[in-house]
Amino acid sequence: MNICDRCGSAHAKILLTKGTGQESLCIDCSNEMVSTELGVDLEEQPESIVLKDPKGITRYFKVEQKLFHMGIRLQAEEAIEYGYQFAIHGELDCDQKQLFQELADKVKDGLARQYIEQGIFPNDQAYQTIVDDELVGRIEYNENDPDVPLIIIDGKPYTWEEVGKMMTSYEGFQFHLKIF
């Protein structure tokens, strides 16, 4: 775990390179530094978003604000491993309350859309199908296999093999994979 060189917090996520030196900073210290440099203040925002997904499961998101020289980034990260993650960017002079609302809406819309449906065969074997012939997700480091990343869809981790199995019903079809 990286220690912040300014406040001693154990959550230094930012490595700042200046001239020949390097400094590890936590988000708060980085925000404070950029805020002083730019004369832009981050407004106080709710620290979490809590809402129910379409299945009625309560989802907890931790909100993180990050001030950059290029703008403001708000991120909502679900408080579980490999959960949902949503982020939104705004200009430095944007309405920050509005930006938060946009993030909350994005979380709500994201939870409303399900890409994979879980089913059970008559022989009790579980299967997964792609709902609308479309998958949207996130690529994440796989601790069990550093050579092949995990794919996070609907706030759940899937291996490429599992994704591959869902594609067997599409043999002969074309597909379009675009990463952004």
Task: Give the interface with Zn ion as residue ranges (CB under 5 A).
Answer: 4, 6-7, 9, 26, 29
Q: Strands of 72-78's sheet, edge to edge?
A: 48-52, 58-67, 72-78, 85-90
Smallest distance from the beta carbon of 5 to Zn ion, in angstroms?
8
Q: Which is nearer to Zn ion, 5 or 102 (CB)?
A: 5
Q: Which is nearer to Zn ion, 4 or 63 (CB)?
A: 4
**Residues 85 and 75 sit within 8 Å (Cβ to Cβ):** yes
Decide: residue 175, CB within 10 A, 0-12 exposed, 13-18 middle, 19+ buried: exposed
Q: Which is nearer to Zn ion, 27 or 135 (CB)?
A: 27
Count CB-CB contacts under 10 A for residue 161.
8
Q: Which is nearer to Zn ion, 13 or 108 (CB)?
A: 13
**Nearest to 79, CA basis, from 109, 42, 51:** 51
- CA distance to 45, 52, 105, 163, 164, per residue, from 98 (Å): 11, 22, 10, 37, 40
**Residues 152 and 158 sit within 8 Å (Cβ to Cβ):** yes
Q: Which is nearer to Zn ion, 31 or 128 (CB)?
A: 31
Q: Which is nearer to Zn ion, 30 or 128 (CB)?
A: 30
Residue with structure tokens 């996070």?
A: 152
The token pair at 99 is: 């930006």
